[in-house]
Amino acid sequence: MSIWFTEKQTENFGITMKINKTYVSEQTEFQKLDMVETEEFGNMLILDGMVMTTQKDEFVYHEMVAHVPLFTHPNPKNVLVVGGGDGGVIREVLKHPSVEKAVLVEIDGKVIEYSKQYLPEIAGDLENPRVEVKVDDGFMHIATSNNEYDVIMVDSTEPVGPAAKLFEKGFYEGISKALKEDGIFVAQTDNPWFTPELISQVFSDVSEIFPITRLYTANIPTYPSGLWTFTIGSKKHDPLEVPADRFHDIETKYWTPQLHTAAFALPKFVSDLI
C-alpha cells in the first residue's frame, strides 16, 4: 500500500506526492502541522494542508527571499525575518558578513521545534549567536518597532489563518515605520496563476507607501503553479540598480548575480498585474 498527500491548491487543482513516513501530525495553538517524508522531495513541512518547504527545493525560496534584498542594501546590519520558523531564510541571511543581528519572529514555536528535528540542514543556523529567535506575533513586533531594521523579510504562510493580517496595507505601513530611512523589505506574494488579485493588491498597497516597488519571480516546483512571486518595497535602494561590485562571493544553488536582475523580467501576463 502506498500513501499519497494532496495539497488542493484550488477547488479543482492540486499537487500529489507519495509519502513514506509521517513524523508529526498535530494541531498546534495556531495551525495544523504535519511533518512527513516524501519519496521525491525529502522531508516536508505542511501547515494547514499547504506545502511550506521541502528538503529538495527549499533553497530556491530561501535564497531568493534573502539575497535579493540583502544585496540591494549597501550595508545591511540589522535584519528581521517575520515568520520563517523553519530557519531557511536565516541560514541565507547569515551568509552576508555585514549582518550583525538577525531577529526571527515566528508565531508558532512548534514550527521551530519540529524544523530543528526533521529539517536540520534548514533550521541548523537558528542557534547562531548572530540570531535572536522570538516566539511572538510578527504583526505586533512590527507594530512596536521604530527605525530599527535595514532589511525586513516576510516569510509567511498564505493569507488565511494566522498570516492573513500580514497581507494588509496597515502591515506594510508598520514595516515602513520599522525600517530605517534607507530600509528595504520583501514579502512572498503567492503565484500569478491562482492568486493574481493578491499580487495586484499587494503591489498597489506597497507602491502607495514605498517609492520603489518591484516584483520578481522564482521557480518552486512544490508551490502552487511553480511560479512564485516576491514583492519588494524600498525607501531608497533600487534592486535593479545594484553596482556589480556589490555582489560578493556567496555559496548558492539558485541565486546568481545575473539572476538577481533577471528575476525581475516578468512574463507579460504577470507584468500586466502590476
Question: Mind telling me the catalytic residues?
Answer: 155
Q: Say if residues 79 and 101 touch (Cβ distance below 8 Å).
A: yes
Applying CB under 6 A, does 53 fall inside the site for ligand AG3? yes
Query: Of 88 and 162, which CB lies nearer to ligand AG3 in the complex structure?
Result: 88
Region binding ligand AG3 by CB under 6 A among candidate stretches 48-56, 100-108, 175-183, 245-253? 48-56
Per CB under 6 A, 217 contacts ligand AG3: no
35, 51, 68, 152: which one binds ligand AG3 (CB under 6 A): 51
Residue 257 sits at the vertex; the CA angle it makes with 166 and 106, to the nearest 5 degrees, is 25
Residue 38 or 157 having the CB closest to ligand AG3 = 157
Q: Which of 210, 217, 216 is nearest to 233 (CA)?
A: 210
Within 113-172, which residues bind ligand AG3 (CB under 6 A)? 155, 157-158
Task: Find the helix packing angle between 169-178 and 196-209, rounded to 10°.
Answer: 40
CB atoms within 10 A of CB 247: 15
Nearer to ligand AG3, 216 or 242 (CB): 216
What are the residue ranges of helices labelled H in the chain?
58-72, 88-93, 109-118, 120-123, 138-143, 169-178, 196-209, 257-262, 268-271
Smallest separation (angstroms) from ligand AG3 to the CB of 170: 21
43, β-bridge pairs: 37
* Residues lying near ligand AG3 in the complex (CB under 6 A): 7, 9, 50-53, 61, 84, 86, 88, 155, 157-158, 188, 223-224
